[in-house]
Chains A and B, each alone.
Chain A
Amino acid sequence: MALLDVCGISDWVKEDGFNAERASVDKVNHFNFAAQTPELAVPVGVDPAEFLRPLVDSEEGVNGVKINLEHGTTTLAFKFQHGVMVAVDSRASAGSYVSTQMFKKVIEINPFLLGTMSGSAADCVYWERVLAKECRIYKLRNKERISVSAASKLLANMVVNYRGMGLSMGTMICGWDKKGPGLYYVDDNGLRLCGNMFSTGSGNTYAYGVMDSGYRYDLSVPEAYDLAQRAIFHATHRDAYSGGTVNMYHMRETGWIKVSQEDVGDLYHRFYSEKK
């Protein structure tokens, strides 16, 4: 660059390796598992993370403007002897306004993979659909379904490129592959955890309380359905940002099934009458 030359800096400033022209033979094509192809255009000349930080993190924002992303949800998933249970609420809120009570917070990636969504609805829907595309391409190329660990890793790698730029996503990738039932938690920081029980969203503390008090690895199938449903119900009862219906899925060796979709109002009456 001319200016760099004039200042005499170009002697010791190295050319940015990423911008250097690579011959087309050396450009990796379909073996990089979407880790390096940037899906979203990021503005040039501005570091998005630096730009966003004062708007989001500081008290007064920038010129009195603050971006405050409000999100509310409760989702949960746990592994037990008969597979993985997944249960989510269905309320989408924008601050204190309820946009819809019938939002699908579970994305069905393929008959053996499910992804839950919490955080910013747009981010979750977008990235999980990109994940579904990558999983499909993986299956076509390798003639076998992608493993749960690989799928969760792909998602984590994709979002870690946008770390600090304002993504908000907490998702659980659940599935059944050659290694058995799989459950991973992935969030917008690129954090990826393998575990037996997760709950995300504004109502997660309520759901954890119910799940922890009733969870055993050797639950029977009806007991597991009941536990998952109760945990979401109690979260929706107390958390203002969760509600609508409880959507429940069961991941089995032969694939997932949608167990039920019940309105929390009906659940309230059912549980209340049981108490009597």
Chain B
Amino acid sequence: MSYDRAITVFSPDGHLFQVDYAQEAVKKGSTAVGVRGKNVVVLGVEKKSVAKLQDDRTVRKICSLDNHVFMAFAGLTADARIIVNRARVECQSHRLTVEDPATVEYITRYISSIKQRYTQSNGRRPFGISSLIVGFDFDGTPHLYQTDPSGTYHAWKANAIGRSAKTVREFLEKNYKEEDMESDTDTIKLAIRALLEVVQSGGKNIELAIMKRDESMKILVQEEIEEYVTAIETEKEKAEKQKKKT
């Protein structure tokens, strides 16, 4: 008997197959990486190459939810649009009711609640996106959270979602250094290096957004990304030369 038709049916070994399949849909999406530094938070996504006649400014995978929170996603873009809309409304609703900006954890919890509700009602399918939500709370603490289609969320120091997420995460685990996070440049470089592992043709296919404490989100222009990429490549060459010498 097939247990994967209806969302509300558990399989004998405890799986909700529709949720598992939603995770598969996420794995097909383009990679997104997030890094939480001490004074800056960074989100980078792999930009899919666009058709010649397409205006590539309309393809935005990093969306701001409020002045102090923004997110990137991997998976079905249309599903993400719905989540982003609801999250934006909830951020404003929180400001109205509570007179304070929502904490990053609050808005992550809200998004996860929406996703979970859709795994437990009939006639609806789960959202096919995982998201990385970053920002600063109004007391200045930086946060990075990841949500997935089942509705769970966790806090991370650095993480990746989407295609080749495993490779990128392994790279981050190997190269994440606590003391590097003090420097904004090193944090940004870590995110770019992680993405360069899996995107083809380098800096052209990377879109990066950063937010420093008490500043609004900034999407880096192509030239700035190229600067970082050149710096990274020079450092790599230097490291290779060092290795050869010893």
Contacts and interface: CB of A to CB of B under 8 A. Distances in A.
Nearest to B121: A25
Nearest to B110: A31
Interface string B16-31: 0000000000000000
Contacts of A142: 103, 105-106
Contacts of A33: 97-98
Nearest to B117: A25
Interface residues of A, number: 16
A217 B224 CA distance: 51
A35 interface: yes
A178 interface: yes
B98 A147 contact: yes
Contacts of B118: 25
Contacts of B99: 147, 149-150, 153
Given A150-B100, A153-B98, A31 B113 contact: yes
A228 B233 CA distance: 70
A154 interface: yes
A157 B113 CA distance: 24
Interface string A135-152: 000000010000101100
A157 B98 CA distance: 10
A36 to B, nearest CB: 10
B46 to A, nearest CB: 32
B179 interface: no
Interface in B131-146: 139
Given A25-B121, A150-B98, A31 B90 contact: yes
Give the secondary structure class of B's interface: helix
Contacts of A157: 97
A29 interface: yes
Given A35-B97, A150-B98, A25 B110 contact: no
A25 B117 CA distance: 6
A45 to B, nearest CB: 30
Nearest to A24: B121
A178 B139 CA distance: 9
Contacts of A149: 98-100
A46 interface: no
Nearest to A23: B121
Interface in A177-233: 178
Interface in A125-169: 142, 147, 149-150, 153-154, 157
Nearest to A147: B100
Interface string B25-39: 000000000000000
A156 B180 CA distance: 47
A142 B107 CA distance: 11
Interface in A10-52: 23-25, 29, 31-33, 35
A109 to B, nearest CB: 16
B166 interface: no
Nearest to A142: B106
Contacts of A29: 113
A117 B113 CA distance: 37
Nearest to B97: A33
B124 interface: yes
A153 B97 contact: yes
A102 to B, nearest CB: 36
B65 to A, nearest CB: 14
12 contacts: A25-B121, A29-B113, A32-B93, A35-B97, A149-B100, A150-B97, A150-B99, A150-B100, A153-B97, A154-B97, A154-B98, A178-B139
Given A31-B90, A31-B93, A150-B97, 12 more contacts: A31-B110, A32-B97, A33-B97, A35-B97, A142-B106, A147-B100, A149-B98, A149-B99, A150-B100, A153-B97, A154-B98, A157-B97
**Lowest 3 CB-CB distances: which A-B pairs, in order?**
A150-B98, A149-B99, A25-B117
